[in-house]
Amino acid sequence: MEGVDYLGDERKKAVFDVEAMKIVWAGSRHAFEVSDRIAKLVANDPGFRKDGRTMLPRKELFKNTLRKAAYAWKRIIELRLSEEEASKLRVYVDEPAYTDLHWGMFVPAIKGQGTDEQQAKWLPLAYKMQIIGCYAQTELGHGSNVQGLETTATFDPHTDEFVIHSPTLTSSKWWPGGLGKVSTHAIVYARLITDGKDHGIHGFIVQLRSLEDHSSLPGITVADIGMKFGNGAYNTMDNGVLRFDHVRIPRNQMLMRVSQVTREGKYKQSDVPRQLVYGTMVYVRQTIVADASSALSRAVCIATRYSAVRRQFGSQNGGPETQVIDYKTQQSRLFPLLASAYAFRFVGEWLKWLYTDVTQRLQANDFSTLPEAHACTAGLKSLTTSATADGIEECRKLCGGHGYLCSSGLPELFAVYVPACTYEGDNTVLLLQVARFLIKTVSQLGTGKQMVGTTAYMGRMEHLMQCRCDVQRAEDWLKPSQVIEAFEARAARMSVSCARNLSKFANPEEGFAELSADLVEAAVAHCQLIVVSKFIEKLQQDIPGEGVKQQLEVLCGVYYLFLVHKHQGDFLSTSYLTPKQAALANDQLRALYSKVRPNAIALVDAFNYTDHYLGSILGRYDGNVYPKLYEAAWKDPLNESVIPDGYHEYVRPLLKQQLHTAKL
Amino acid sequence: MEGVDYLGDERKKAVFDVEAMKIVWAGSRHAFEVSDRIAKLVANDPGFRKDGRTMLPRKELFKNTLRKAAYAWKRIIELRLSEEEASKLRVYVDEPAYTDLHWGMFVPAIKGQGTDEQQAKWLPLAYKMQIIGCYAQTELGHGSNVQGLETTATFDPHTDEFVIHSPTLTSSKWWPGGLGKVSTHAIVYARLITDGKDHGIHGFIVQLRSLEDHSSLPGITVADIGMKFGNGAYNTMDNGVLRFDHVRIPRNQMLMRVSQVTREGKYKQSDVPRQLVYGTMVYVRQTIVADASSALSRAVCIATRYSAVRRQFGSQNGGPETQVIDYKTQQSRLFPLLASAYAFRFVGEWLKWLYTDVTQRLQANDFSTLPEAHACTAGLKSLTTSATADGIEECRKLCGGHGYLCSSGLPELFAVYVPACTYEGDNTVLLLQVARFLIKTVSQLGTGKQMVGTTAYMGRMEHLMQCRCDVQRAEDWLKPSQVIEAFEARAARMSVSCARNLSKFANPEEGFAELSADLVEAAVAHCQLIVVSKFIEKLQQDIPGEGVKQQLEVLCGVYYLFLVHKHQGDFLSTSYLTPKQAALANDQLRALYSKVRPNAIALVDAFNYTDHYLGSILGRYDGNVYPKLYEAAWKDPLNESVIPDGYHEYVRPLLKQQLHTAKL
């Protein structure tokens, strides 16, 4: 059976150059080559196998993750991988582990918030993993609202130390990954108190465990917070709980780049701009958007391939049934997700550019674009993670019953992904931040203030408030300028309408609270406009490869027309579209599905995922699904014996009517 | 800490009689009393504890389920529980088990499809559980399309036997619950072949395992199909795979109520109406709708209580932060789900009536309402299960990060619920059936054919096609007649529009395929009309209890106004509403949220769920969330030791830079 390719015919149908599309997806030839090489390296190394993961009990699962993390580090050293390669390797190992927090949060926090001296002391230890760090911010009772944290760091001038303390149960640190069982150190966020005065939340480097025997240090209570959603998934991570009972650390372990406490206990601010914090947030959220396109594309790849393998109904004269991918109902759910994966990829690419731009401006003390960049990344983080979480589950449903099996890979993909909707800013809270920014922007219209970046369209407010769509035939919906105007008009009108309704309230904050659900919708409209325009901008570039650009144009059309249809209420209620024009959008969308259909398998092949990384029998490259599902079933622990454990105690007595004497 | 009630103040705010509402929710005083008594019986019996379930490895989990199933049966016998009480007890044990299929599918199949003789032989054995049965229909390659099943049952006149055989890998039975490890017998659906002729799919009683030692019988290969989505969840069930290698069964084990095979191998139909099958489908789907309201109400109960406990932001002068339930964004996501739980409860109640009505008519050979009843139950199964699956996940997100912990109960509730979208008819396939029925109904307009039941409104098509909403103030949206007209006009216009577009196709089937996504939307509009009208009808009855009816009116308003807002595109594009009227609906919706707010906790208390049944620390009746979360963390197996398994092998060598010699 090996060597078959049940999807070979599908692959032949494609009318574009798949290899060229792989480069587009990866972002560059270099990025493609690194990804491809490292993905194969991981896939071919038995040390990184992950197929039994969903069956392991927690302790074994976790122990195996410790092994993999160490093995990955060993390979990184042996192969002398670059930083880029090492981080790709961790991606393809595809198992949440304490190292994610060490490299992704602990090290960057010291780099961003530590003084030169602190960096010189701590970074070499961290780079060699002689210490392992995590990032202890959220508390049992405090998530989104960082300013509400209760942990205290009180300066004791007698000993030149901070006393870190958890004054209440709800102040227990709760959730930090890597904290529960592994980290030797943590960046702990606590309320800084000097001389009785509260200076707000600051970061401190605190050692948690002995470097000799790993026991927790005096005054520190630390443990894992228990099982989380899904099989395997984030249960490979030791998210932890941490309480401090008057733990003392030297004064120089407060991260002092932005503010300092002197030997005398005086609190001082340095001249480093505080806005740098926002630069970091832009960076982190930019990576989250990139991750969204990865996660969604994996799910779409699985669902698309299996939709071509699976057949249901429509058999004629005993012939084969119809491939489910040929059903319009399947296409109308699957193809918009395929298009979204590409859309998120390109907006993620653009965000990477935005981050560079913002960083350069910050270094030149230009803070002018920061609020816009901040709102934009907050909104895109929210939009893409929500759509991806829903999209993965939709892909699972699109696989029918078999999507419910762990061997489909989709349950774990979903469970491991959904926290992205909550961490680094709850998605609703973030959209409200965007809305606040939009309302502020609207209020500045006519004041002569320049509208920058993604809000530039608001500068044309007068036109956008009164223009009407001039689509007359379905094909008119393929004109980029037409589409951009539609999304701009919708977003502009929704923001203005919110602003008008807000102005009816005497107390603006009360108004904001009362209308927050509408404000969230306005924010979504603004963010969707960004994604659509960045996709369209991408297509205005030169894109090599036969048929590649044409395929991307089709996907772009699917993406925005799907949104027009889904949100036609917005477009109609703002009177930009007529019902007839909305119906034409829907007709055009259906026509585009037919163009996606023959290219669907090639479009997911372009993601270049190995079977190891996909981790799905339904999504196998060769389409050899059923024999492999059958084979996999036998590996379940329940199948170790024909007669199940418990038969003699609990089934036989029941069948034999002897329960009254059974011990149950 | 025991005896606290952190939600006491919330409970005092309610302006209605909670005890009276409990009766309304349960359906009757009798139903309430039985539920209440059995729920407490289960909750207070340590034999039914379920708190560690999500941490157990598969084999231990399954063994424990076997124990519980036997223990439940023992208690049912000891307490001489009635059938009603026994089935409630299984509900409150709240763990999918082989007994669900035995009682829910195996026994009913014999009752419905077996001859009197067959019933006399098999039912006594099944009632005493001297045999355990399952229902083996779906195959590895065949789910929705029953007519595509490949398993064969070939009559051998020489021995008066059927030969049951799995001719291909894809014909392996796959998914049946209880099959993998426990069932001694199965109802097997196979293609009946006599004398070389294929008579289509029929059911057969096949013994799978020895009643003496539980070993599988000759020619039978049977196993569990492996891990499924979620922790605990359906992994307590032994969904199985089954292959037959020419297994022989006596002729009298074909279920022969509707059709028979004679000793000579002649195939005959009896005069029992085949439509009886549809009666069974109406029954099963009716129970699924009832289950939807249960599952959704559990999730809503958890999210509502925790939203009152949890505080974020809005602290003034160091006072407590705002309860998240006070945020409009939270209300606008949570309260429509609360209203949906009630809406689904009442439509489920009505479906129970419909089933009785259909059954009586069938017995009187009146098949006239069957197509309508069938379409209606198919559509409501689809609508309520999809909304419930999405709603549970939304509730999980509404609990912030902590909803991701298994101890919140929500991950398991979701994982255990989602298959309902796929089993007993994939939700999209069912909506297409509804659409087909609607299009047929539209085509019969003007032919003098009477429109019955839930399609009666189509009889007023002329009015519905041209009427315009006359809402002028937000409060006008509280008039039931206004609302009904709006939903009728929307549903009617969408069906008619689909019918018109279909008529443009030369080949109707091609048109149906091409427009299927639009047809699905028309079907949803029709089904939502049913739910809304049954809720409104319920409120036209006498409902005792202070303030009870008023509260239900508020919830009914939330339910339909939420739908008007969510689907405003439909209402606007069919030109029934103006944008202004849609905005007024939204204003009225917001006003109703404020009326729900003080009653929210009491409205979920009315479900009368025990903490055992809820299985959620976040949803605890007493609101004592944080200490209990903290306590629960320590029970994770990872916390059995301070130093994790694997530290010495995989963490210490890394910290000590000794990986090169480590065995990884």
pLDDT for the residue numbered B261: 97
CB pairs under 8 A between A and B: 397
B101 close to B177: Cβ distance less than 8 angstroms: yes
Q: How far is CA A375 from CA A105, A454, A513, A525, in A?
A: 22, 10, 19, 13
Active site residue ranges of A: 424
Contacts of A642 in chain B (CB under 8 A): 214-216
Q: How far is CA A654 from CA A657, A660, B84, B128, B236, in A?
A: 5, 9, 21, 9, 18
Is B67–A573 a contact, with Cβ atoms under 8 angstroms apart?
A: no
Is A62–B572 a contact, with Cβ atoms under 8 angstroms apart?
A: no
CA atoms within 13 A on the CB side of A189: 23
Strands B247-250 and B161-165: antiparallel
Of B252, B270, B288, the last residue of a domain is B270
Is residue B1 predicted with pLDDT exceeding 80? no
Is residue B144 predicted with pLDDT exceeding 90? no
DSSP string, B89-155: HHHHHT---HHHHIIIIIHHHHHHHS-HHHHHHHHHHHHTTSS-EEEE--BTTBSS-GGG---EEEE
- Please tell me the distance in Å from A255's CA to the nearest CA on chain B: 23
Task: Encode pLDDT of A211-229 as tens digits.
Answer: 999 999 999 999 999 999 9
- Please tell me the distance in Å from A282's CA to the nearest CA on chain B: 22
Cα separation, A168 vs A151, in Å, equals: 8
Find tokens 């509280």 and name the residue.
B478
pLDDT for the residue numbered A143: 79
Question: Hey, how many other C-beta atoms are within 10 angstroms of the C-beta on A287?
Answer: 16
Q: Is residue A493 one of the residues assigned to a domain?
A: yes
Length of chain A: 664
Is B59–A650 a contact, with Cβ atoms under 8 angstroms apart?
A: no
Is A328–B515 a contact, with Cβ atoms under 8 angstroms apart?
A: yes
Cα separation, A155 vs B222, in Å, equals: 68
B310 close to B323: Cβ distance less than 8 angstroms: yes
B518 close to B535: Cβ distance less than 8 angstroms: no
Contacts of B210 in chain A (CB under 8 A): none
Phi, then psi, of B474 in degrees rounded to 5: -55, -40
Q: Radius of gyration (Cα) for chain B, nearest Å?
A: 27
Task: Encode pLDDT of B125-142 as tens digits.
Answer: 999 999 999 999 999 998
pLDDT for the residue numbered A1: 45
What are the residue ranges in chain A where pLDDT is below 50? 1
Q: What is the mean pLDDT of residues B292-297?
A: 98
Of B69, B77, B636, Cβ closest to residue A224: B636
- Please tell me the distance in Å from B27's CA to the nearest CA on chain A: 33
Pair (B235, B260) in one structural domain: yes
- Closest chain A residue to B517, measured at CA: A329
Pair (B258, B320) in one structural domain: no
Pair (A177, A298) in one structural domain: no
Structure tokens at A371: 């609020």
Phi, then psi, of A432 in degrees rounded to 5: -65, -35
Contacts of B427 in chain A (CB under 8 A): 397
Q: What is the ipTM of this complex?
A: 0.97
3-state class of A200 per DSSP? strand
Pair (B256, B281) in one structural domain: no
Of B70, B226, B645, Cβ closest to residue A633: B226
Of B236, B270, B304, the last residue of a domain is B270
Is A73–B654 a contact, with Cβ atoms under 8 angstroms apart?
A: yes
Task: Encode pLDDT of B312-327 as tens digits.
Answer: 888 777 778 899 999 9
A50 close to A615: Cβ distance less than 8 angstroms: yes
Best residue in A6, A171, A636, A658 for a mutation probing chain B (most B CBs within 10 Å): A636
Q: Is residue B28 one of the residues assigned to a domain?
A: no
- Please tell me the distance in Å from B197's CA to the nearest CA on chain A: 14
- The DSSP output letter for A541 is S
Cα separation, A449 vs A274, in Å, equals: 24
Contacts of A137 in chain B (CB under 8 A): none
Look at chain B and report how many structural domains it folds into: 2
Sign, Cα dihedral of A37, A40, A46, A47: positive
Q: Is residue B546 one of the residues assigned to a domain?
A: yes
Cα separation, A450 vs A470, in Å, equals: 29
B322 close to A509: Cβ distance less than 8 angstroms: no
The annotated binding site of A for FAD is made up of 138, 177
Task: Encode pLDDT of B303-360 as tens digits.
Answer: 999 999 999 888 777 778 899 999 999 999 999 999 999 999 999 999 999 999 998 9
| Closest by Cα among B369, B486, B505, B374 to B430 | B374
Pair (A184, A219) in one structural domain: yes
Is B428–A515 a contact, with Cβ atoms under 8 angstroms apart?
A: no
* Strand partners of residue B643: none
pLDDT for the residue numbered B500: 97
Domain that holds residue B384: 277-450+474-605
Task: Encode pLDDT of A459-484 as tens digits.
Answer: 999 999 999 999 999 999 999 999 99
Question: Hey, how many other C-beta atoms are within 10 angstroms of the C-beta on B144?
Answer: 17
Of B59, B328, B515, Cβ closest to residue A513: B328
Pair (B244, B365) in one structural domain: no
pLDDT for the residue numbered A2: 57
| Closest by Cα among B583, B587, B590, B582 to B490 | B582
Q: Radius of gyration (Cα) for chain A, nearest Å?
A: 27
Tell me which H or E stretch contains A73: helix A58-78
DSSP string, B8-21: HHHHHH--S-HHHH
A359 close to B384: Cβ distance less than 8 angstroms: no
Cα separation, B141 vs A129, in Å, equals: 50
Of B241, B315, B651, Cβ closest to residue A66: B651
Q: Is residue A531 one of the residues assigned to a domain?
A: yes
Contacts of A520 in chain B (CB under 8 A): 329
Is B62–A638 a contact, with Cβ atoms under 8 angstroms apart?
A: yes
| Closest by Cα among A334, A275, A255, A268 to A299 | A334
Pair (B341, B487) in one structural domain: yes
Phi, then psi, of B56 in degrees rounded to 5: -80, 140
Pair (A265, A291) in one structural domain: no
Find tokens 């080559």 and name the residue.
A33
Q: Is residue B99 one of the residues assigned to a domain?
A: no
| Closest by Cα among A496, A471, A495 to A481 | A471
Cα separation, A377 vs A454, in Å, equals: 11
- Please tell me the distance in Å from B209's CA to the nearest CA on chain A: 10
Is B214–A647 a contact, with Cβ atoms under 8 angstroms apart?
A: yes
Find tokens 């599952």 and name the residue.
B295
Strands B185-194 and B197-207: antiparallel
Contacts of B230 in chain A (CB under 8 A): 229-231, 411, 415
pLDDT for the residue numbered B365: 87
Cα separation, B252 vs B155, in Å, equals: 11
Structure tokens at A309: 């393998």
Q: What is the mean pLDDT of residues B597-607?
A: 98
Q: Is residue B631 one of the residues assigned to a domain?
A: no
Q: What is the mean pLDDT of residues B486-507?
A: 97
Best residue in B510, B638, B641 for a mutation probing chain A (most A CBs within 10 Å): B638
- Please tell me the distance in Å from A60's CA to the nearest CA on chain B: 8
Contacts of B590 in chain A (CB under 8 A): 514, 517
Pair (A140, A251) in one structural domain: yes
Is B568–A567 a contact, with Cβ atoms under 8 angstroms apart?
A: no
3-state secondary structure B185-209: EEEEEEEEEECCEEEEEEEEEEECE
| Closest by Cα among B219, B210, B163 to B183 | B210
Question: Looking at residue A339, which CATH number applies to its domain?
Answer: 1.20.140.10
Catalytic residue among B161, B424, B521, B537: B424
Pair (B349, B210) in one structural domain: no
Of A47, A63, A234, Cβ closest to residue B645: A63
Contacts of B77 in chain A (CB under 8 A): 659-660
Phi, then psi, of A460 in degrees rounded to 5: -105, 35
Question: Looking at residue A230, which CATH number applies to its domain?
Answer: 2.40.110.10
B619 close to B409: Cβ distance less than 8 angstroms: yes
Q: Is residue A93 one of the residues assigned to a domain?
A: no
Q: Is residue B224 one of the residues assigned to a domain?
A: yes
DSSP string, A260-322: EE-TT--EEE-SS-TTHHHHHHHHHHHHHHHHHHHHHHHHHHHHHHHHHH-B-S---TT-PPP
Active site residue B521: no
Q: How far is CA B373 from CA B32, B280, B359, in A?
A: 28, 12, 11
Is A655–B211 a contact, with Cβ atoms under 8 angstroms apart?
A: yes
Cα separation, A224 vs A175, in Å, equals: 9
Is B313–A590 a contact, with Cβ atoms under 8 angstroms apart?
A: no
Pair (B480, B551) in one structural domain: yes
- Please tell me the distance in Å from B647's CA to the nearest CA on chain A: 8
The annotated binding site of B is made up of 138, 177
Is A225–B411 a contact, with Cβ atoms under 8 angstroms apart?
A: no
Best residue in B212, B650, B657, B658 for a mutation probing chain A (most A CBs within 10 Å): B650
Pair (A523, A548) in one structural domain: yes
Residues 6+ apart with CB under 8 A from A500: none
Q: What is the mean pLDDT of residues B405-428?
A: 96
pLDDT for the residue numbered A500: 97
pLDDT for the residue numbered B2: 57
3-state secondary structure A604-644: HHCCCCCHHHHCCCCCCCCCCHHHHHHHHHCCCHHHHCCCC
Contacts of B217 in chain A (CB under 8 A): none
Of A574, A605, A636, the last residue of a domain is A605
B526: confidence class by pLDDT, cuts 50, 70, 90:
very high
